[in-house]
Structure 1
């Protein structure tokens, strides 16, 4: 049965990490003087994002995301990535927001294939899941969102605190949420339209 026949949203999901040391997009310096940027203290802070691009014919495309900030010094037993419980919560929240069945398309991350996650998928009648082929990030439109975020709100910025990094990422994601053409463009770039 197709997503259209189910009246379902097609939702692509992916995760990405952002650090306090952003990539430089462009630099300028006098000849023979290499530009350097000094970082103090917070270089180990990292933010992990999980994002969902949601598509349905006749509806405005949507971007749903969740941030997870990692401490500078990891605490023993603390997880540095999303767990299957986090993904379950995010899927249920997306279902509540979209108010329709979901056809979820995501990669083969080990957390996506745990027994706990498989049991959740089997028990949830409004959820259908498909896995992308291995090593095929070009088929996931959320990768386009991460690329746009890295090019605009993450590149060439000096983040002095973890809060600055989180603020920049949230600002960029909010702008993308309101820019439906960008979300649609990410799907078009995959060639899946």
Structure 2
């Protein structure tokens, strides 16, 4: 009322409170992303991981400004940073070899379709009794307990995907050996007509004597094998299929035995095989494109 009497109608309008002045200048704030891009190890930390505590320590070291770590999340959000789960990459990777394969070798391999060959990416994976993702409701303050068998028993699987979105899969309770891989290749030759181009990683079971004998026995007339660069699973679209099965189709699944895992995996595979567009997107994610159909 006093403001209205003294300043009139204009004095009643809402005003934004300025608040305290930022401790970092605009110039210092512009320098911070460059410092963060150098990596945590470049500033004396162990491991390339940025946390709010480390960012606060970096600012204090570089600019002499003390911030509470809890405030760093707001500051990082202002810089368009967010909390993310990093992608793990093996230190043995040869990035130049991977780049050359994707930019040079892969375009050559795509021409196999012009020769009437069917391209199929193959990979192995394991499905365990322990669930991949678990979400459940529970009273506040009462953390639920999930009782599962603590065992490393798992279902071994081998699968393949074509550019058309067709998927193939076999499973067993024991680990895959070269002779089991040969049986999977025989199955592909039965179900897919014409010549095949199988692309997979350099696992020892893919280079074993049994594979070479299988090719020498006549399979080489229809089957050609190509190897992906080492430590580059992201180039294999079949990895995307495993991700869909584990983190989407079978999430929150708690099984008591491997028979339950097998039944659930078979049903999940049947559901997934009808989603051709989603399966084809595995190629887009891995190779940056969808192969044109021959």
TM-score (norm 1): 0.84
1:103 corresponds, among 190, 193, 197, to 197
Q: Which residue of 2 aligns with 1:75?
A: none
Q: Which has the higher contact order (CA 8 A, sep 6+)?
A: 1
- Structure 1 gaps of 5+ residues are 70-79
- Matched-pair contact (CA < 8 Å) for 1:15–1:49: yes
- Matched-pair contact (CA < 8 Å) for 2:125–2:242: yes
SS in 1 for 2:120: strand
- Matched-pair contact (CA < 8 Å) for 2:123–2:160: yes
SS in 1 for 2:197: strand
Structure (1 or 2) with the greater helix fraction: 2
2:275 corresponds, among 165, 174, 179, to 179
Partner Cα distance (2:287, 2:193) in 1: 27
Residue range with higher mean Cα deviation, 60-69 or 105-114:
60-69
CA gap 1:61/1:4 in 2 versus in 1, 3 angstroms: same
Q: RMSD in angstroms over aligned alpha carbons?
A: 1.9
Q: Which residue of 2 aligns with 1:120?
A: 214
Alpha-carbon deviation of 1:156? Answer: 1.0
TM-score (norm 2): 0.56
- Matched-pair contact (CA < 8 Å) for 1:25–1:151: no
Partner Cα distance (1:86, 1:192) in 2: 31
Partner Cα distance (2:114, 2:244) in 1: 32
- Matched-pair contact (CA < 8 Å) for 1:7–1:101: yes
Structure number with greater Rg is 2
| Structure 1 position 68 matched with structure 2 position 172 | yes
Post-superposition Cα deviations, 1:6-51, rounded to whole Å, max 9, x if no partner, equal: 20100100011011111234344333332220125x8443101100
Post-superposition Cα deviations, 1:77-123, rounded to whole Å, max 9, x if no partner, equal: xxx31121111121121111111110010011110011221232344
- Matched-pair contact (CA < 8 Å) for 1:49–1:68: yes
| Structure 1 position 131 matched with structure 2 position 131 | no
| Structure 1 position 48 matched with structure 2 position 156 | yes
Partner Cα distance (1:24, 1:15) in 2: 21
Q: Which residue of 2 aligns with 1:168?
A: 264
- Matched-pair contact (CA < 8 Å) for 1:153–1:168: no
Partner Cα distance (1:141, 1:44) in 2: 26
Structure (1 or 2) with the greater strand fraction: 1
- Structure 2 gaps of 5+ residues are 1-107, 290-294
Q: Which residue of 1 aligns with 2:147?
A: 38
- Matched-pair contact (CA < 8 Å) for 1:121–1:129: no
CA gap 1:118/1:192 in 2 versus in 1, 3 angstroms: farther
Aligned residue pair count: 178
